[in-house]
Structure formats: C-alpha cells, structure tokens
C-alpha cells in the first residue's frame, strides 16, 4: 500500500513528460524558423528568426539572405526592411536600409502585442532596379508557439486615402477621454490652438515621444490644448502603457480608428497643429527629438498672430 502513492506520482510524471513531447506550442530555443521565396524570378529571399521563443515586448532579430535566382538576374546590392501590423494598418519600426554583406543582412524588430506581423522588404538590384516581398507571421502573446511564416510576393500598395492637409479644417471627432471623465469634441476646442498627438501602446517610437509630449502639454496648458489620441483598441491597455512610462498625457481613446483615415494617421506618431479656427497649420509624421522645441515656436507664432 505504501508503494501506491509512488506509483501514482510516477505515472503522472510520465504522462506529463509525454504530453510535453507532444505539445505543439513548445519550440526549442535553438530552433530557427525560416521561410524562402523567389521574388519576380530575380532573387531568392530567405528570412530566419534568430530565436524560436517569442514573447510580447521581446526584441527579435531577423537574418535575411538574398541571392540571385538565375544566371541573368541582377546582383542584389542592398535591402530595406520595415516591420508592421497589416491588420492594424500601422508600421512598428522605421524603414532601415543595409548593404548586403556576402548576400546577407540582419535587422532587429520588437513585438509589442500579439497578432499578425509583416516584414516588408525592398531589395535594390544592380543597375537601380528594385523588387519587393513580404514575410507574414504570427506573434503569440503568452504561449510559446512556433512562428508560422507565409512568404509571398508583395502586392503593389493601394493608393493612399485622402486626408485633411495643411490649410484645411481638421475633421470633426467626439471621443471619450482615456480616464473615463467624459468626452472631447474638436468643435468644443475652438478658440485657441489645438495640438493633436496620435499614439498607441504598440507604437515603438511613441515610447520615446510620450514623455516629451507630457512636458509639452504641461508647458502649454494655459494657452493651448494639447490632446493625445490613443489608437489602442483597449482602454486599460492604453492607460497601463502610460502608467508604465510614468507620464500623464491628456488623451482620448479612438478604439474604432475613426480618426485614422480623416487625419492620415496610418503611420504614428503623428502630430497635428490646428489654429483657433480649427484649420490645420502643421503635420509631422514620425518621431523627431526636436519636435516639441519647434512646437514651442509654432505655438508662440500662432498666439502672436491669431
């Protein structure tokens, strides 16, 4: 009878070990998932992840090898890469260009949330020609799963939708405050300059920009309205992101993306300055370390010449 608990324990351990061997979401850390595709009959592209384990917020490295596909193909000279989320319509990283060293180049990327990611590649060929491709894969949030690649030629991008530009009235919106204390409409902000800053918790450059935006909002709290517009789908995720950064930015939540197309916010961070009549004066896309220093001057000019 005394041996029964030991036998039961042994059986349980054996069962767990067997399940562990069959569990498909486990991937050995040394594994290097990869995908290979021939692009336009000119080049062969092989993309490899440097690590098999993938977690949210964890940087991963991509090793990319580009080789001529045939004897007549032009020799690849350089490659440009950018990581985005096609389902959200946003880029996660800035475009990076590297010369090919022995036919290979390495790039780093970071996965801020679970979902489908696209690594878009522009391959520059000898003679000035260019071919493009994209590698699609999924990044899980919590489980350790194999990364699944779907490699295919990159289709031509659709024409960019028309958005409000400098000199035009800012499109109207009425959005709930991130802190739940009511809503904000653009119409209700008329009468003094308005600075709109589009951001999201999954936007890498926004992490560098938001602390500076918080200081900028504080400096101009008496003379202008500085308002962040979070494109997160979840209020708690957006609020937790600000809390982790330790910043306070007056913000509204656009979980449905109703401002993305009217303001051209497919790429963020995006900052838009409007005058007291609601007309767009400036648009700045992407992170710039000196942006808010320039913004101080732009606001002073608006207030001096309303």
Q: How far apart are CA 10 and CA 222, in angstroms?
A: 71
The model carries a pTM of 0.56
Q: What is the pLDDT of residues 12-67, one digit of tens each?
A: 444 434 433 332 323 333 456 677 877 777 788 888 776 545 555 566 677 788 88
Q: What percent of the chain has pLDDT over 70?
A: 74
pLDDT confidence bin for 134, thresholds 50/70/90: confident
| Structural domains of the chain in order of their starting residue, each with its CATH number | 34-153 (2.60.40.1930), 174-304 (3.40.30.10)
Q: Are strands 43-49 and 58-68 parallel, antiparallel or unpaired?
A: antiparallel
Taking 80 as the threshold, does the pLDDT of residue 150 lie above it?
no
Res 86 pLDDT > 70: yes
Please report how the helices 291-304 and 204-219 are oriented relative to each other, as an axis angle in degrees rounded to 10. 40
Count of other CB atoms within 10 angstroms of residue 130: 13
pLDDT digits (tens, 9 = 90+) for 65-82: 888 877 667 788 888 888
Classify burial at 96, counting beta carbons within 10 Å of its beta carbon; exposed 0-12, middle 13-18, buried 19 or more.
middle
Residue scoring higher pLDDT (156 or 19): 156
Choose among 84, 72, 66: nearest CA to 132. Answer: 66
Residues in contact with 181: Cβ distance below 8 Å, sequence separation at least 6, in sequence order: none
Write out the two tokens for 148: 């699944």
Which of 2-6, 95-99, 186-190 is the least confident region? Answer: 2-6
Q: DSSP 3-state helix, strand, coil percentages of the chain (rounded to 5)?
A: 20, 35, 40
CA 226 to chain centre: 23
Calculate mean pLDDT across residues 121-127: 81
Which pLDDT belongs to residue 80? 86
Nearest CA among 305, 100, 272, 117 for reference residue 202: 117
């Amino acid at each position: 009878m005394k041996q029964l608990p030991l036998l039961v324990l042994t059986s349980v351990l054996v069962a767990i070990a067997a399940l562990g061997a069959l569990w498909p979401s486990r991937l050995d850390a040394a594994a290097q998932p990869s995908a290979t595709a021939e692009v336009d009959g000119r080049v062969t592209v092989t993309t490899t992840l440097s690590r098999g384990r993938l977690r949210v917020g964890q940087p991963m490295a991509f090793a990319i090898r580009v080789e001529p596909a045939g004897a007549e193909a032009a020799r690849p000279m350089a490659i440009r890469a950018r990581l985005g989320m096609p389902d959200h319509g946003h880029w996660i990283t800035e475009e990076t260009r590297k010369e090919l060293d022995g036919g290979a180049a390495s790039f780093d990327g970071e996965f801020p949330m679970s979902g489908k990611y696209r690594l878009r590649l522009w391959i520059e060929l000898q003679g000035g020609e260019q071919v493009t491709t994209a590698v699609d894969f999924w990044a899980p949030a919590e489980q350790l799963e194999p990364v699944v690649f779907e490699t295919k030629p990159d289709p031509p991008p659709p024409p960019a939708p028309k958005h409000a530009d400098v000199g035009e009235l800012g499109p109207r919106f009425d959005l709930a405050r991130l802190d739940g204390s009511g809503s904000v409409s653009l119409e209700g902000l008329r009468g003094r300059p308005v600075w709109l800053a589009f951001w999201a918790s999954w936007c890498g450059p926004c992490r560098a920009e938001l602390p500076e935006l918080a200081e900028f909002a504080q400096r101009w709290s008496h003379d202008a309205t500085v308002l962040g517009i979070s494109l997160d789908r979840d209020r708690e995720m957006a609020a937790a992101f600000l809390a982790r950064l330790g910043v306070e930015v007056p913000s509204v939540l656009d979980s449905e993306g109703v401002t993305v197309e009217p303001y051209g916010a497919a790429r963020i961070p995006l900052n838009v300055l409007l005058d007291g009549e609601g007309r767009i004066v400036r648009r700045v896309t992407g992170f710039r370390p000196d942006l808010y220093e320039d913004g101080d001057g732009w606001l002073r000019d608006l207030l001096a010449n309303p």
